[in-house]
Structure 1
């Protein structure tokens, strides 16, 4: 049986990924600071911190994949993820688990050659700390473990521009992907529901197609 471990399995992305994985008969383990208020039946919930080596080792033990589905900054915009990345990558590599990262849309390109979504005039300033920090996560992975390298298998998924608990969207059972380009419709809108994002994410776990690469997803 496939086993996935999720850092942040009580959140919007992590919860949807957990449900999709469970629907395929997979085992799901989650690590979060607090127990969920509405637990998903079938998920093995652990409480602790991904910055604690023992908690991280307990989470990833025996897992086929480690999913990172957390914010990169705190409520004040301070980076809370970058310093933990090496330990998370090392834990996944040591366990032989593939690392899958729920990324942000800000680092996606709006046209071939750029700019990034975060660099466009329409991107709100209050969103930039999270977007830029998560863009740094992608840059770190690319620099430390480029495509074709040994040591860690990873992938990073950037959703469409409209994505999150504030806009859960409708389940369509389908999605479109690209490499670094933001996935948009002909009219310019860019969106993906939480459930369809999870479908794309778990499909990648089931059938790897983007080894040590980012891909984007949208309706």
Structure 2
């Protein structure tokens, strides 16, 4: 599959890149500063500021089977990225979202709870706004994956649960997932779609 990965040098994006290349996909890795990406079979590297060069982004996206968006939503307006994907005629987009929009009770999102960390609130709200935008989208086949509340580097175990709009917690009440398993779940969804025009979540 021919994949355009936007945000390929980030913590999550770099794991998605590695997972996709290990599965023999062709990946165009798009980042503002992609110098950290070493040459690999199946990898094309593109230096591009997606927040400022939407016309060039649309031109570069043409011909890809899918676009993956993995950015910091408080720093990058993702709406023009989505428009570039549509203009390029890319039929499908997979999005890495945030945990803040997951529900902890009926009608209550994690980001709206009293103890949600203030340092992460701006990013969580921006990511939720993009999810709401996607839910109004009818012209493209989209899927968004939200991690559990604690997302950090760890092991690629392949042993995780998949949920919908509710925050997943383990038997001890913790909500967590490794970045490696998040990347695995996203590429699984890429290869075997199960959540067309839906958000799903992964957790232990």
Please report the TM-score for the alignment, with normalisation by the length of structure 2: 0.92
- The aligned counterpart of 1:90 is 86
How far apart are residue 190 of structure 1 and its match? 0.9
Q: How many residue pairs align between the two structures?
A: 202
How far apart are residue 189 of structure 1 and its match? 0.5
Distance in 1 separating the partners of 2:196 and 2:108: 24
Does the CA-based 8 Å contact 2:62-2:90 persist in structure 1?
no
Distance in 1 separating the partners of 2:13 and 2:7: 6
- The aligned counterpart of 1:154 is 142
How far apart are residue 59 of structure 1 and its match? 3.3
Distance in 1 separating the partners of 2:16 and 2:30: 14
- The aligned counterpart of 2:182 is 197
Distance in 2 separating the partners of 1:89 and 1:57: 6
Structure 1 unaligned regions, length at least 5 = 75-79, 146-150
Does the CA-based 8 Å contact 1:30-1:44 persist in structure 2?
yes
- The aligned counterpart of 1:143 is 136
- The aligned counterpart of 1:101 is 95
- The aligned counterpart of 2:119 is 126
Structure 1 83/67 Cα, relative in aligned 2: closer, same or farther at 3 Å? closer
Structure having the larger proportion of residues in strand: 2
- The aligned counterpart of 1:46 is 46
How far apart are residue 95 of structure 1 and its match? 2.3
How far apart are residue 39 of structure 1 and its match? 2.6
Please report the TM-score for the alignment, with normalisation by the length of structure 1: 0.86
Distance in 2 separating the partners of 1:18 and 1:114: 35
Distance in 1 separating the partners of 2:142 and 2:188: 14
Does the CA-based 8 Å contact 2:58-2:84 persist in structure 1?
no
| Runs of 4+ in structure 1 over 6 Å off | none
How far apart are residue 199 of structure 1 and its match? 0.7
Corresponding residue to 1:171 among 156, 160, 174? 156
- The aligned counterpart of 2:57 is 56
How far apart are residue 57 of structure 1 and its match? 2.5
Query: What SS class does the counterpart of residue 46 from structure 2 fall into?
Result: strand
Distance in 2 separating the partners of 1:85 and 1:61: 13
How far apart are residue 120 of structure 1 and its match? 1.1
CA distances 1:98-140 after superposition (whole Å, capped 9, x unpaired) = 10000000000113x1311101122111211110011000001
Query: What SS class does the counterpart of residue 121 from structure 1 fall into?
Result: coil
- The aligned counterpart of 1:148 is none
How far apart are residue 23 of structure 1 and its match? 1.2
